[in-house]
Structure 1
Amino acid sequence: MPIPSAAERRREERAARTGGEPELEIAGTTPYARYGAIDTLLDLQRPRTDEPSETSFIIATQVMELLFTLLAGHWERARDAMEDDDVPAALAELRRGAHVQDVLVSSWDLLADLSPTEFSRFRDALGDASGFQSHTYRRLEFLLGNTSEPMLRPHKGSPRARAELERAMSEPGLYDAALRLLARRGLPVPGEALERDRTRPYAEHDGVRAAWARVYADDTPGNDLFTLAEALLDTAERVTRWRQRHLAAVKRSMGAKPGTGGSNGLRWLADNAAQDVFPELWSLRTEL
């Protein structure tokens, strides 16, 4: 039986002293507030107008940024597990990441009923700020294979953000790691897909689709590569759901107006939502 830690013994002594009731006499800031930096967190909502829905917009943005960071950690650990030939660990991280993605998709509910009149009352306060400029979101896109050297340009004035993105672009993404794993298992993954130019987005390849088709030829529970393929598709589908919710939220709140970051707004988002993540896992379904 494990020996209780000093902290565990203190908790047991406190519970005995209070009769199981919460401790109410606390000196200074509560441990909860200190641990979660709650005072700092709650000081980060700084609306620039008197429009109440601006606070919802800011909080939704901040929640998404935190979830982007959490999701990147799961995807990076999944990638590293595939690089180590540890499929069960990769599956566990993709599963946890899928839960985060579900919350991300649902986070659009915070802005689901933002009307164009409400948005127009604080939109000018955004200036040129746009979610397109989020380096944490861009890091996710790079992990998905949507690497692009021009996408580093918005962050040239932020050395930390640029360094993170340069590292993400230079390292294998989720799909890169999966294809390398297939190749190590003896599947005929084309060399140009394994050694692609990571300054450019991943491009669909017939040879990669053929390799995945061989994986799908055995859909028995013991085929861990088939299970991995389906887990990757779960991830890809949730990416599309998030993009579609983004598109719908923008369409509802501002219609086809130009985006604050200089894009053409709806058309940019629609084009992005139409791009399949891990494309061969989608296209091979027509052949099966």
Structure 2
Amino acid sequence: MTDKKPQNYRAMEKDIHTDFKQDMSYADYLQLDKVLSAQTPLSGQHDEMLFIIIHQSSELWIKLAGHEISKALTCIQQEDFGPAFKVIARVKHIFVQLTQSWQILSTLTPADYLKFRDDLGHSSGFQSYGYRKLEFLLGNKNAAMLKVHAHDKAVHQELSDTLNQKSLYDETIHLLARQGFNIDKEMLNRDVSQPYQANQSVLEAWIEVYKQCDKYFELYELAEKLVDIEDAFQQWRFKHMYTVQRIIGNKHGTGGSSGVGFLKKALDMSFFPELLDVRTHL
């Protein structure tokens, strides 16, 4: 007789902690009782769980992206470039992760989605306040979007505050001015709650940065990090649009939008227009 263990066996190590009667566990720390009980399908259809979890997990990633961009704003204000580059790079990877999630949702067929779509009522991703805050932080300002959140005073106030604060790009333009570039005064004193409009003085500053990238390396690196965000965000937008088109075609969205047509319009918008235009002038 042998006591040799099976090949597919991993022994419990003696120092692994197993008693959590008086100690904090992994589940306690992450409050998994709340997280894993937050899925409440309404239709009884198997695929609704997929739909819920994809959107809930996306909201967590969006929350993290907003958290990181807020840190980047502070770093740029303080001209603390290293930490700014770190968190901006992280945001890019968050958008890549979000884009990949649409691959999973794409396994939801049109026939299966129609089995529970009516149960969603008028709820829609358009109403995501995390996404709206993210867009405001990046500079896509639109006060009309606040109407969707008027029913929740706390959320409405948070979004209103973000709308009226300088975006990531606004802070970057102020940084250019502090670094000695001749930025038009109206750009430095503009109403930051309004949509950003491309400006010649900002473009000329970036042209100089790119033509003398060794001299202005930190600004050059910051610009490329911002383009990374723009690139990753646009890929996320495109995959969102295409996934919606794949599942519902050209039907209107549950929230009342034109659906794919409305999503396509976002692809023409840029957070940092001069950073794309500068390529033409090099």
Do Structure 1 and Structure 2 share a fold, with TM-score over 0.5? yes
Establish whether residue 200 from structure 1 lines up as the match of residue 194 from structure 2. Answer: yes
Establish whether residue 152 from structure 1 lines up as the match of residue 142 from structure 2. Answer: no
Which one of 232, 242, 255 corresponds to residue 261 of structure 1? 255
Which one of 80, 87, 91 corresponds to residue 86 of structure 1? 80
Task: Using the TM superposition, give the Cα deviation of residue 121 of structure 1 relative to its aligned residue in structure 2, in angstroms.
Answer: 0.8
Moved more, 196-205 or 276-285: 196-205
> CA, structure 1 residues 239+19, in 2 after alignment: closer, same or farther (shift >3 Å)?
closer
Structure-1 residue corresponding to 2:4: none
Structure-2 residue corresponding to 1:14: none
In structure 2, give the amino acid aligned to 1:277. F
The answer to whether the 8 Å contact 2:163/2:193 transfers is yes
Moved more, 108-117 or 62-71: 108-117
Structure-2 residue corresponding to 1:164: 158
- Aligned CA RMSD, in angstroms, stands at 1.7
State how 1:99-114 maps to structure 2 within 5 Å: 99-114=93-108
Establish whether residue 140 from structure 1 lines up as the match of residue 134 from structure 2. Answer: yes
Structure-2 residue corresponding to 1:64: 58
TM-score (norm 1): 0.89
- Partners of 1:162 and 1:172 in 2: CA distance: 18
The answer to whether the 8 Å contact 1:239/1:277 transfers is no
- Partners of 1:24 and 1:82 in 2: CA distance: 45
Moved more, 179-188 or 112-121: 112-121
Moved more, 22-31 or 150-159: 22-31
In structure 2, give the amino acid aligned to 1:229. A
Task: Using the TM superposition, give the Cα deviation of residue 19 of structure 1 relative to its aligned residue in structure 2, in angstroms.
Answer: 5.5
Task: Using the TM superposition, give the Cα deviation of residue 169 of structure 1 relative to its aligned residue in structure 2, in angstroms.
Answer: 0.9
Task: Using the TM superposition, give the Cα deviation of residue 30 of structure 1 relative to its aligned residue in structure 2, in angstroms.
Answer: 6.6
Task: Using the TM superposition, give the Cα deviation of residue 193 of structure 1 relative to its aligned residue in structure 2, in angstroms.
Answer: 2.1
- Partners of 2:17 and 2:201 in 1: CA distance: 63
Identity value in percent: 35
The answer to whether the 8 Å contact 1:148/1:198 transfers is no
Task: Using the TM superposition, give the Cα deviation of residue 28 of structure 1 relative to its aligned residue in structure 2, in angstroms.
Answer: 7.8
Task: Using the TM superposition, give the Cα deviation of residue 22 of structure 1 relative to its aligned residue in structure 2, in angstroms.
Answer: 2.2
The answer to whether the 8 Å contact 2:99/2:235 transfers is yes
In structure 1, give the amino acid aligned to 2:220. F
Establish whether residue 117 from structure 1 lines up as the match of residue 111 from structure 2. Answer: yes
Which one of 124, 127, 132 corresponds to residue 130 of structure 1? 124
Structure-2 residue corresponding to 1:241: 235
Runs of 4+ in 1 over 6 A off after TM superposition: none
> CA, structure 1 residues 222+148, in 2 after alignment: closer, same or farther (shift >3 Å)?
closer
- Partners of 1:90 and 1:132 in 2: CA distance: 29
Task: Using the TM superposition, give the Cα deviation of residue 230 of structure 1 relative to its aligned residue in structure 2, in angstroms.
Answer: 0.3
Number of aligned residue pairs = 271
SS in 2 for 1:52: coil
TM-score (norm 2): 0.91
Structure-2 residue corresponding to 1:53: 47
In structure 2, give the amino acid aligned to 1:234. D
Moved more, 25-34 or 221-230: 25-34
- Partners of 1:137 and 1:207 in 2: CA distance: 30
Structure-2 residue corresponding to 1:5: none
SS in 2 for 1:132: helix
Establish whether residue 186 from structure 1 lines up as the match of residue 180 from structure 2. Answer: yes
Structure-2 residue corresponding to 1:75: 69
- Partners of 1:222 and 1:181 in 2: CA distance: 12
The answer to whether the 8 Å contact 1:64/1:104 transfers is yes
Gap runs ≥5 in structure 1:
1-17
Task: Using the TM superposition, give the Cα deviation of residue 23 of structure 1 relative to its aligned residue in structure 2, in angstroms.
Answer: 2.6
